[in-house]
Amino acid sequence: MENQDMKPENAKKIPSPFDLNSNDNPGSIITQVQSKGDKYEEWARAIRTPLRARRKCGFIEGKIAKLDDDSPESEE
């Protein structure tokens, strides 16, 4: 008897940092903290939290390389 849990279609998909959802748009506010002078550290912490939750921190940290134009993850 085959084990249904071992089939690829039953495998949990690991989201790519290139995936977007309805919350990922330029108009959404992810923090109320403004980046002004002495509030930089507070702002930086407030920005990193939602970026980590959305798996986007690698973009600002330089850990995620730009996709090749012929990459299957590229939509252009």
55 neighbors 17 (Cβ within 8 angstroms): yes
Q: State how far the Cα of 20 lies from the Cα of 22, in Å rounded to an integer.
A: 7
**How confident is the model over 58-74, as a mean pLDDT?**
82
pLDDT in tens, 5-49: 555 666 777 778 888 887 777 788 888 888 888 888 888 889 898
If pLDDT is split at 50, 70 and 90, which confidence band does 3 have? low
Q: State how far the Cα of 31 lies from the Cα of 3, in Å rounded to an integer.
A: 45
Q: State how far the Cα of 61 lies from the Cα of 44, in Å rounded to an integer.
A: 12
Domain boundaries, the chain: 34-64
